[in-house]
Amino acid sequence: MTSAASPGAPVTVKSAWCKSCGICISVCPKNVLEFGHDGKATPARPDDCIQCQMCEMMCPDLAITVVMRAKATTAGKEGASDGR
Ligand code: SF4
Ligand code: SF4
């Protein structure tokens, strides 16, 4: 009904918007996506996703959202470059 993804998956597909064209499946370099039993694209191997966003960019129906995973490293201040 809504998005089909495992918890924490970086890729979500709005199945209601997906027209099963298969473009996302063919462009994904990591074979993350495949057709589910409902005939819609679904992230079958979300752990393999490298978040390249190709699927999101190529989907003609804007059905895919790639959520950039927060890095475990410190992403705080980018080095306080105060000249003094
Ligand atoms: S590119 Fe978009 S519309 Fe086509 S199969 Fe993938 S999610 Fe569905
Ligand atoms: S973001 Fe890249 S690796 Fe992840 S599912 Fe989309 S095309 Fe595949």
Distances (CA, A) of 31 to 8, 44, 70, 72, 79: 18, 8, 22, 25, 37
Q: For residue 35, which atom of ligand 1 is closest to its CA?
A: 5
CA of 80 to the centre of ligand 2 (A): 34
Q: Where are the domains of the chain?
A: 11-66
The pTM of the full predicted model, rounded to 2 decimals, is 0.78
CA of 19 to the centre of ligand 2 (A): 18
Q: What are phi and psi of 56, to 5 degrees?
A: -65, -40
- Ligand closest to CA 35: 1
Tens of pLDDT along the chain (84 residues) come to 455 545 567 999 999 999 999 999 999 999 999 999 999 999 999 999 999 999 999 999 999 999 987 665 544 445 545 555
Strands 11-13 and 64-66: antiparallel
Q: Say if domain 11-66 classifies as CATH 3.30.70.20.
A: yes
